[in-house]
């Protein structure tokens, strides 16, 4: 059968490790937000699997919403400007937001999105990322919840893609170099 597994060089974070860590984060958020009725906001599309698993292990009263964003780039430089392709529907004035993203890399995406949500009147905006890749940070930004810190390698799976593929891998892995060629 033609499966996506054949393109994976190595597993970086296994299904079991993901499950255990997501459960810990869900428990931590449940304690921190027990009586705050937080609004979880997932950044599409990369966060979808983490988001769904996190919600299942965070049994407190809460709401959820989604947004989608992309970075403006030209041929030579990444401008660091982020465009919101799809915005949340909820009225967030006075709400405690937990912004959920697959990976924090340069920081441009979450820096801009957090600012956008604060501008709309959120009482607080916390950042919850499955992966943190601090090596390439450009913005002063500190995540509140981190699943795993990863080295400066391009990773796929568990929501993360290369050319919109591999999001459906149940673990986080590194692609074989020939896949990029
Ligand atoms: P910034 O640089 O704004 O990046 O923090 C966040 C977005 O860039 C994508 N990204 C990755 N996607 N593997 C991926 O599949 C990676 O290693 C990777 N690094 C950054 C991701 O979409 C994230 O939302
Ligand atoms: Mg993304």
Site of tokens 């009147």: 121
Q: How many angstroms is it from 181 CA to the middle of ligand 2?
A: 22
The pTM for the full model equals: 0.95
Whether the Cβ atoms of residue 37 and residue 63 lie closer than 8 Å to each other:
yes
The model's confidence at residue 71, banded by pLDDT at 50, 70 and 90, is: confident
32 catalytic residue (yes or no):
no
Closest Cα to atom 4, ligand 1: which residue? 105
- For the chain, the average pLDDT equals 95
pLDDT tops 60 at residue 59: yes
pLDDT digits (tens, 9 = 90+) for 76-103: 555 678 999 999 999 999 999 999 999 9
Residues having CB within 6 Å of any atom of ligand 1? 46, 101-109, 154-156, 160-161
**SS3 per residue for 61-129:** CCEEEEEEEEEEECCCCEEEEEEEEECCCCCCCCCEEEEEEEEECCCHHHHHHHHHHHHCCCCEEEEEE
pLDDT reported for residue 81: 82
Q: How far, in Å, CA of 79 to CA of 176, rounded?
A: 29
């Amino acid at each position: 059968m033609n499966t996506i597994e054949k393109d994976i060089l190595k597993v970086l974070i296994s299904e079991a490790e993901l499950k255990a860590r997501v459960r810990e984060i869900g428990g931590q958020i449940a304690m921190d937000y027990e009586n705050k009725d937080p609004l979880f906001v997932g950044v599409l599309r990369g966060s979808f699997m983490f988001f769904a698993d996190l919600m299942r292990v965070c049994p407190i009263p809460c709401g959820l919403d989604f947004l989608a964003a992309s970075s403006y780039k030209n041929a030579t430089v990444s401008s660091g400007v982020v465009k919101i392709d799809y915005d949340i529907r909820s009225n967030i004035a006075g709400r405690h937001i937990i912004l959920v993203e697959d990976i924090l890399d340069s920081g441009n995406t979450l820096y801009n999105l957090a600012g956008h949500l604060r501008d709309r009147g959120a009482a607080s905006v916390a950042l919850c990322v499955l992966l943190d890749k601090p090596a390439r940070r450009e913005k002063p930004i500190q995540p509140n919840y981190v699943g795993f810190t990863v080295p400066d390698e391009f990773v796929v799976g568990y929501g993360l893609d290369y050319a919109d593929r591999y999001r459906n891998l149940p673990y986080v892995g590194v692609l074989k170099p020939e896949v990029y060629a």
